[in-house]
Structures are given as C-alpha cells and as structure tokens.
Amino acid sequence: MKTRRIIKLSLVVASMSFAGASFAGGASGAMLGNTCAGCHGTNGNSLGPATPSIAGISKDYFVDTMQAYKKGERPATIMTRIAKGYSDGDIKQMATFFAGIKFKSGAQKADLAAAKRGKKIHKKYCEKCHENGGTSSEDDAGILAGQWKPYLQYTMADFQAGREMPKKMKKKMKALHKKKGDKGLNDLFEFYASRK
C-alpha cells in the first residue's frame, strides 16, 4: 500500500509541470471544468440529490474514470456521451483543475442508527483503501464520505451487475455482502451520507 503511494506521488510530481499551462491551442482546465458545473455544481461540488461531486478527487482517478466513460467501459446514463467530447489532453487538464478544489460534503439526511452500523462495516471492509472514513482520495480511491447517496447506490448496483472493480474490492465486497446482505450495504451508504 505505502510503496504504491510513493510511486504514484512521484508520478504526480513528474506530471505537475504540464498541469498549469493549457495544451497548445487547447482550452484550460478551468475553461473545460466550468462546462461541468451545470450538472456537477460550481467547481465540481454538487448540490445533489444524485449527481456526484467531482471536486477534490485525484487526478488519476479522474483520468481513469473519464477514459473508461470515453471507451464505454464504465456504464453511465450521459457520461459516456459527454466524455467522447474531450481529448486525452483535455481530460488531464480537467483532472488537474478538479484535483485542486476542496471536496464539500453534500447536505443530505441520513439514518444515524444505520450510519453507526455502517461505520463498523466501513472499518472492516473498506477503510484499507478508502482511508479516513472514506474521505481520502489518495491511492486513487473515490471519495465516499459526503458523496450523494443515490450516486453511491447506483454505483454499487452497477458493480453488482458486473462492472469491473479492483480485485481486492471484489473480494471484500463479496465477503461483505455474504455476511451483511443488502442491509449492510445500505448501512454503509447511510454512513457515508452522514459524514459532514
């Protein structure tokens, strides 16, 4: 885990020199990123109820996600159509733009009793990669804490329907679902929704 992070960090530093300037003739990260605001909120912090916030996520996670949409490898309603509008350079620009903005938790209701159970489930099954209670975007983990609940539900449903996931995640998910069932997953969503 630790070594992986060090490698990732050095890669990020190496690519930083490209981050500020726009590619020759292309649009800047802010220009590109501002077009997302109508659905994902100003600067990528969504007011929900379903569209996810994309501020503060790691550059690699952003790039991987957009590339997966672009290639049609990740299921989506609209993002597979939109991601095709951007070059690899554009996507890197946007990734840098959103990685530089602080993620804000969505103001949503949560079942606190379920959230309490969900906290334990998170610790046991998810914390190792989604660190600090799911607030971390390090190691290319998606930010879970404070993310909009319907989005978390949709994403989980897609994973269960066969969307590709990291090997470790697949193993953990299987174990979680076997032991705690759908209720356990719901407790987990409530935990993330309750995080401010």
Partner 1 sequence: MNKINRRSFIKTTTAVAATSTMATFSPFAIGGATKKVVIVGGGIGGVTAAKYIKMLDSKVDVTVIEPNKNYYTCFMSNEVLSGHRSIDSIRFGYDGLKKRGVNIVHDAVNAIDAKGQVVKTAGGKSFAYDRCIVSPGIDFKWDTIGGYDANVAESIPHAYKAGPQTVTLRKQLESMKDGGVFLMCPPPNPFRCPPGPYERASQIASYFKAKKPKSKILILDPKDKFSKFGLFMDGWKRHYGYGTDNSIIKWVKGAEGGKIESVDPKTKTVQGEMDPFKADVINIIPAQKAGKIAFVAGLTNDKGWCPIEGKTFESKKHKNIHVIGDSAVASPMPKSGYAANSQAKVCAAAVVALLNGGKTPHPSYVNTCYSVIAPGDGISVAMVYDYKDGKIVKVKGSGGLTGKYDKKTRAREEQYAHSWFNNITNDIFG
Instruction: Quote the CA–CA distance of 114 and 122 in Å, as a whole number.
Output: 12
Amino acid at 88: D
Q: Which of residues 41-100 bind partner 1 (CB under 8 A)?
A: 41-42, 46-51, 77-78, 81-82, 84-86, 90
Is 162 a binding residue for partner 1 by CB under 8 A? The answer is no
Q: Min. distance of Cβ 171 from partner 1 in angstroms? A: 26
Is 101 a binding residue for partner 1 by CB under 8 A? The answer is no
Q: Of 14 and 24, which has the nearer Cβ to partner 1?
A: 24
Residue 24 tokens read as 């020759």
Residue 112 tokens read as 């606190």
Residue 94 tokens read as 């946007």
The DSSP annotation for 70-99 comes to HTT-S--SSHHHHHTTS-HHHHHHHHHHHH
Q: Min. distance of Cβ 45 from partner 1 in angstroms? A: 9
Instruction: Quote the CA–CA distance of 131 and 128 in Å, as a whole number.
Output: 6
- The position carrying tokens 């996670």 is 61
Is 31 a binding residue for partner 1 by CB under 8 A? The answer is yes
Instruction: Quote the CA–CA distance of 180 and 14 in Å, as a whole number.
Output: 43
Q: Min. distance of Cβ 128 from partner 1 in angstroms? A: 29
Rounding to the nearest 10 degrees, give the CA dihedral for residues 74, 75, 77, 83: 20
Is 137 a binding residue for partner 1 by CB under 8 A? The answer is no
Q: Which of 39, 112, 113, 175 binds partner 1 (CB under 8 A)?
A: 39
Q: Min. distance of Cβ 31 from partner 1 in angstroms? A: 5
Q: Min. distance of Cβ 97 from partner 1 in angstroms? A: 12
3-state SS class at 119: helix
Q: Of 29 and 134, which has the nearer Cβ to partner 1?
A: 29
Is 160 a binding residue for partner 1 by CB under 8 A? The answer is no
Q: What count of other Cβ atoms lies within 10 Å of the Cβ of residue 196?
A: 9
- Mark residues 9-28: x for contact with partner 1 by CB under 8 A, - for none: -------------x--xxxx
* Polymer length of the chain: 196
The residues that touch partner 1, with contacts defined as CB under 8 A, are 22, 25-28, 31-32, 34-42, 46-51, 77-78, 81-82, 84-86, 90, 148, 150, 154, 157
